[in-house]
Structure formats: C-alpha cells, structure tokens
Amino acid sequence: MSSLFPALTDRPGDRVALRFGERSLTYAELAAAAGAVGQQVRGAGRVAVWATPSPETAVAVVGVLLAGAVAVPLNPRSGERELGHILADSAPGAVLAAPGERLPDALTGVPRIDVAVDGRGPAPGPGTAGDDDPALVVYTSGTTGPPKGAVIPRRAVAHTLDALADAWRWTDADVLVHGLPLFHVHGLVLGILGPLRRGGSVRHLGRFTTGGVARELTGGATMLFGVPTMYHRIALALSDDPELVEGLTGARLLVSGSAALPVPDHERIAAVTGRRVIERYGMTETLMNTSVRADGEARPGTVGLPLPGVGLRLVDDDGRPLAAHDGETVGEIQVQGPNLFTGYLNRPDATAAAFTADGWFRTGDMAVRDPDGYVRIVGRRATDLIKSGGHKIGAGEIENALLDHPGVAEAAVTGEPDDDLGERIVAWIVPADPQSPPGAEELAGHVAARLAPHKRPRAVRYLDALPRNDMGKIMKRALTHG
C-alpha cells in the first residue's frame, strides 16, 4: 500500500515532527529512530508498546507500523489482572519501552527492546504490508468480562485521518497540542499519527494541565484535542487565566471527543473566547464516524455529519432503518465503511455479535438526526458501560475485581453523573462482615492495582443486600433511582 506517513518515507526534513516537553524530534530524526525500531521488530508479529506519554512511544509505534508489524499499546498504569489478560490474549513477540522504564513482572517473559530516540536505522521503505493488514490492536472494555482487543487495519488509520483532514482542513501547517494518554485511539491515532500523516507537528503536554494548553496555544500551536473533562477544566479556568483565553481565542480549531461535551461547558468557552468547540464522534472499533466540519456550524450537543466514506444509519429496536431526520426519533447508530476494525482478537463470537447480518457495526450509541443530517447522541444502549473522563469502563470487570476482595460478599457497579468526569464509578457493596466493611479507599486501591486507576470506584455505598428480580438479576435501576 502507499505509505502511512509520506512525510517520513519521502525525504524527511528538518521540520519538527513532535515535541514532548524539552525533547523534540525532526522528521529526519524520527524517520531514523523509527527505522532502527523497524529493523528490530520486522517479522515480530504483534509488538507491545509501553505507552507512556513520551517520544519513545511515538517512535515505537511509528517504527512498528513502518516495519509492517502490529502495535499493541499498553496502559503503563495497567494493573496485574488487566495486563495479564492483554499479554495472554495478544501474545506479543516483544515489548518496546523507553530506556530505564521499570516494567512489571507480567512482562518478564516478553523480550524487551529499548527505544532509542537517537537511533539510526535505514530509511523506511514503503513496506510490504497491505491495506487490510492490521496496524494496531487496541483493548477496549465491554459490559462484561475482560477488555477485548480491537484489530485496526492500516486502511482504517489512513482513511480516518484523511477524512478528518478533509473535515477539519487539517494540513502540514497545523501544530497540535494535547495531553491525552497514548494507549487509546484518541491520543495515539488522532493525536500522534494524525499530525505525522499530515506532515505537521504535535506537542504533547506529558500530562494535561490548563496552563500547558495556554502556553502552547499562545506559542504557535494551532489545534487542541481533548476529552470533555479537559474542556470542563478549561471552562472553569478561563476566568482566572488571560493567557488561556488568548490561546483559545487564537486557535484555528478546538476539538472535543470520546464523550459528550456538556452544553454548559461549550457555551461557557464560547461566551469567553468567541470560539465554539467542534465535536467529533468515534469509537475504538470504528475510529471516526462523524464530525462537525471546520467550516460547519458547531451546534452544541451535536457531533456533526458522517465523515466522507462513512455509512451511518439509525435503526429502531427491531433493527429497521429509520427514515426520519426529525430531531426526535431515537435509534441506535450503525456504521459501515473503510474506517472500521476487522474484528476482536481471538473473539469470533464477540465480532459476529457486533455486526448485523448485512454488515453494519452496532455502536450501542443512541441518537437522533436533525433535519440537516446532524447527529445528536442522546445515550447508550448498555447501562453497564460507563464513560468516565473519556475512558470507557465496563461495570462487569469492576464487579469481578471487587468480588475478589475478601471483605466483599456482593458487588454492583453503576455510573452516576459527574460535572468533571461526565460519569463517576459507584460501587454498591454488600460487605462479607457488616461489622467491619472494607473502606472506600481500600476498595479503590484494590481495583486500581488489578485493573487500572481510572477504573477505581470514586464512591462506595454499603447495603445489606442488592436489589434483585425474580430471576436473581441485580436491578441496577433500583440502585440508581432508589
């Protein structure tokens, strides 16, 4: 296939490709370092990447892709159980990490390759990998069980990034700033591979702060990507931070995604800066489906129009497509197109269940369409999927982790509205010993160590018994509405 990164494979020059804090790499330096990685991983099949927010992660993923291998980004804060599952499922031939990074015991059996940002490898060629060959396996939560590995082909990466370039007028003149984690599609595919495919530049904040956003947007950055929690924190900070106001006001494009941007945050930012945040809608399995266009109307609460090449329909409960664009009739979003994943790794059952008989992907997101076609997401089919800080988290995996705690007899997990996180995780616990129930911090630490810190409950409520129906099924609505 044609190169995923023409700016790296065709005479890379001295333009800065990426910057993390004080450390930056030009296109020529990135091509050489990625070439060195590529030499080491060629033929390795799947290669895990210890995805810290660092230039090593970018070099690692680009090197793997240029070599035609498959990158499996790992959350460096993954707990034992989550990491154990991902490694057993994806069986990586090697793990790429920054030198000096301490890796957990679960990775002991996997050959380690240190990523040298000053490495010098042969100029990457066009490669032999085909469009339908996998580029990435990204793990994503479902309602029950451990996370599933979404296999994302090279064509999906190319297609989604080019569709966004069209929608956003995204060019090599753009300098993106963000502080997103690099083990999700948002931060890695859009936030790192996006600028590199365009031949532009990215500045990563290491960790998100409103001060970092202000500094970069007043210092030459043109675009900002973030999850709604980040825009919420920006909206709160605007009144005390003139540099932040100046930066947002002057930016070419402000983009939010991964969860719904609350209308009050959208309006607050618009009122202070005169700028409207653009929303786009995507999913690990589908990459990007819709977006408000750079020259379109950024109506609060809408995620815009289907991107070029993406088929999108709403269906009723019986799976029948809805014809109405009346802004009222709610249906599930189904999508089709070159942006889609090819399936879940080792899970033909889950893959089959995710598609309709005629090949549409069931997103589980519920939406209406405005008369002009704009998509407005109104909710989610499964209440057992929680979006907290833009991370998708399955209630089932947290319940299983809680049940592993000796002090927990029964557990149920729900999501509750939260101004900052969108939703916060709430654990409902029947203690094994009502006289000495495990504390909230103890349980949060227990989940953080097994799964990941962002999956920890933010509140714990204690009950004598969980409400159950005649079939013994926990009635979560009675918990949240009780």
Q: Which residues bind ligand MCA (CB under 6 A)?
A: 77, 180-181, 184-187, 207-208, 227, 229-230, 257-258, 282-284, 389-391, 444-445, 448, 453-454, 456
Q: What span, in angstroms and rounded, lies between the C-alpha atoms of 429 and 436?
A: 12
Identity of the residue, 283 or 425, whose beta carbon is nearer to ligand AMP in the bound complex: 283
Contacted entry of ligand AMP, ligand MCA, none for residue 79, CB cut-off 5 to 8 Å set by kind: none
Nearest residue to ligand MCA on Cβ basis? 389
Q: Are 163 and 335 in contact (CB under 8 A)?
A: no
Q: Between the CA of residue 357 and those of 319, 322, 352, 360, 362, what are the distances in Å?
A: 11, 17, 9, 8, 11
Residue 181 contact, options ligand MCA, ligand AMP, none, Cβ 5-8 Å cut-off depending on partner type? ligand MCA
Whether the Cβ atoms of residue 414 and residue 458 lie closer than 8 Å to each other: no
Q: Which CB atom, from 93 or from 311, has the smaller least distance to ligand AMP?
A: 311
- Please choose which of ligand AMP, ligand MCA, none residue 180 contacts, taking the beta carbon within 5 to 8 angstroms, the exact cut-off set by kind: ligand MCA
Residue nearest ligand AMP (C-beta atom): 392
Give 311-317 contacts, CB < 8 A, sequence gap 24+: 311/335, 311/336, 311/337, 311/360, 312/336, 312/375, 313/360, 314/367, 314/368, 314/369
Tell me the sheet residues that pair with 18: 25, 202
- In the complex, the smallest distance separating the C-beta of residue 249 from ligand MCA, rounded to whole angstroms, is 23
Residue 242 exposed, middle or buried by CB count within 10 Å (0-12, 13-18, 19+): exposed
Neighbours of 382 (CB within 10 A): 13
State the binding partner of 81 from ligand MCA, ligand AMP, none, CB within 5 to 8 A by kind. none
The partner in contact with residue 365, picked from ligand MCA, ligand AMP, none with C-beta cut-offs of 5 to 8 angstroms by kind, is ligand AMP
Least Å from the CB of residue 210 to ligand MCA: 11
Query: In the bound complex, what is the minimum distance in angstroms from residue 96's beta carbon to ligand AMP?
Result: 23
The one of ligand AMP, ligand MCA, none whose footprint includes residue 262, by CB under 5 to 8 A per kind, is none
Which of 90/201 has CB closer to ligand AMP? Answer: 90
| Residue 187 or 282 with smaller CB distance to ligand AMP | 282
- Residue 380 C-beta: closest distance to ligand AMP, Å: 6
Answer for the pair 18, 55: CB distance below 8 angstroms, yes or no.
yes
- Smallest distance from ligand MCA to CB 407, Å: 16
Residues paired with 71 in a beta bridge: 47, 136
**What per-residue string of b and e applies to 23-34 under the rule 16 or more CB within 10 Å gives b?**
ebbbbbbbbbbb
Compute the least distance from the CB of residue 158 to ligand AMP, in Å: 19
CB 389 within 8 A of CB 229: yes
375 forms beta bridges with 369
CB of 253 vs ligand AMP, minimal distance in Å: 15
Residues at the site binding ligand AMP, with contacts judged by CB under 6 A: 140, 185, 257-260, 279-284, 303, 363, 365, 377, 380, 387, 392
